[in-house]
A and B are shown apart, each in its own frame.
Chain A
């Protein structure tokens, strides 16, 4: 198993003893979508843990650097949370997200962003508790990442793996990592891959607000806060421009709001966007 895993990562030299034939099937792909989700959750979580540990180490001697690491850890763990949404991995990311949020609030402090006129919620943890994102509807043509042919007619199946060379190939992309140039995958080695649909021409039909965007990180970045709401909440001594502390993470999870999508959508105005 370890050997198989290494061969998947490093590739098998073409024509080496026992090397598979180029283009041959490498077995069933399994649940590719689930594997992709798990890999992304692990990657972002690992980065979050690493940065959080650095932030904790730096907290006493270099608070500014610690804050930078802690805020980066928050972004990473929120990305892990979004990737894990609705899966068996979601709750673990949610728990760590609040752990990092609580530490950051207690050690470094958190406040609403003020742009000179109004306040904004920009914290990724805060925004992660709104299940809301942008969805693009489009029409497109698509090619196969392995052979570069029309993906609806080429011989490659989505539930199979194939042995293919690394580097930019017939599709113009490396079939292993999808990079168009400068990737680490070698043209003299074979790697196990599954097909990926590459969109070659896309016409945007509409952009909608949805609760579960498939573009996992196409979420809101900023939520405006009405000054009147702050005045009402903070009392007559509050003046617009004063720092406003955010204490949400001090009291555990405040619940996740589910977005109820309206019927309306934003019409696309760039009908000829091309995506490589």
Chain B
């Protein structure tokens, strides 16, 4: 059962004013002393998405990233916070997530609703990987129809 809901932007996470020239921007869970603390479930996400032909990057460069691990068997095998910049970014994440099939994943993502960047909306999608991937595709189509967002 997939759960989709609008949320406030996660604490201490913001989409940068100037979005980088990538399809997907992976955001940290926390920022501490200028370092981005990312959930360790996304440690290989950028390169997995890149392998699907999509450009992706972390908000912090490699020397400023640290990974947060919580070693209990939380049902979440992927806990992603990201900014979707293009439709390809959505598709890349959906491709990676769909491989997790019945494993539970959570994606919290923000996107700009207008070109000035003043309207930003955030969603949380949680559930089995295959269903979350499908929900992301549906949200992507809805967003594209609403505001013409695209590559």
Which A residues are in CB contact (< 8 Å) with B139? none
Residue B72, interface by CB 8 Å: yes
Cβ contact within 8 Å between A140 and B71: no
Residue B48, interface by CB 8 Å: yes
- CA A266 – CA B146 in complex, angstroms? 48
Cβ contact within 8 Å between A214 and B73: yes
CB 8 Å contact bits of B68-87 with A (1 = contact, 0 = none): 11111110000000000000
- CA A197 – CA B40 in complex, angstroms? 10
Residue B58, interface by CB 8 Å: yes
Cβ contact within 8 Å between B48 and A152: no
Cβ contact within 8 Å between A157 and B71: no
Residue A208, interface by CB 8 Å: yes
Which B residues are in CB contact (< 8 Å) with A136? 69, 71
CB 8 Å contact bits of B40-75 with A (1 = contact, 0 = none): 100110111001000000100010011111111110
Pick the contact of A158 from B44, B58, B65, B71 — CB < 8 Å?
B44
Residue A92, interface by CB 8 Å: no
Number of interface residues of B (CB under 8 A): 21
Which B residues are in CB contact (< 8 Å) with A151? 43-44
Cβ contact within 8 Å between A152 and B70: no
Which B residues are in CB contact (< 8 Å) with A197? 40, 43
Which A residues are in CB contact (< 8 Å) with B65? 152
- CA A50 – CA B142 in complex, angstroms? 59
Pick the contact of B62 from A85, A153, A210, A212 — CB < 8 Å?
A153
Residue A141, interface by CB 8 Å: yes
Cβ contact within 8 Å between A137 and B46: no
CB-CB nearest in chain A for B69: A138
Residue B37, interface by CB 8 Å: yes
Which A residues are in CB contact (< 8 Å) with B99? 159
**Would you give the shortest CB distance from B128 to chain A, in whole angstroms?**
15
CB-CB nearest in chain B for A153: B62
CB-CB nearest in chain B for A201: B66
Cβ contact within 8 Å between A157 and B69: no
Which A residues are in CB contact (< 8 Å) with B58? 152
Cβ contact within 8 Å between A157 and B68: no
With contact pairs A142-B40, A153-B47, A157-B48 given, residues A210 and B67 touching in the complex (Cβ less than 8 Å): no
Which B residues are in CB contact (< 8 Å) with A86? 73
CB 8 Å contact bits of A135-176 with B (1 = contact, 0 = none): 111111110000000111111011100000000000000000
- CA A193 – CA B17 in complex, angstroms? 42
CB-CB nearest in chain A for B58: A152
Cβ contact within 8 Å between B73 and A140: no
**Which A residues lie at the B interface, using CB under 8 A?**
85-86, 133, 135-142, 150-155, 157-159, 195, 197, 199, 205, 208, 210-215
Interface pairs A-B: 4 shortest CB-CB: A212-B73, A135-B72, A210-B72, A214-B71
11 chain-A/chain-B pairs, Cβ below 8 angstroms: A135-B72, A136-B69, A138-B69, A140-B67, A152-B46, A152-B62, A153-B62, A157-B48, A212-B73, A213-B72, A213-B73
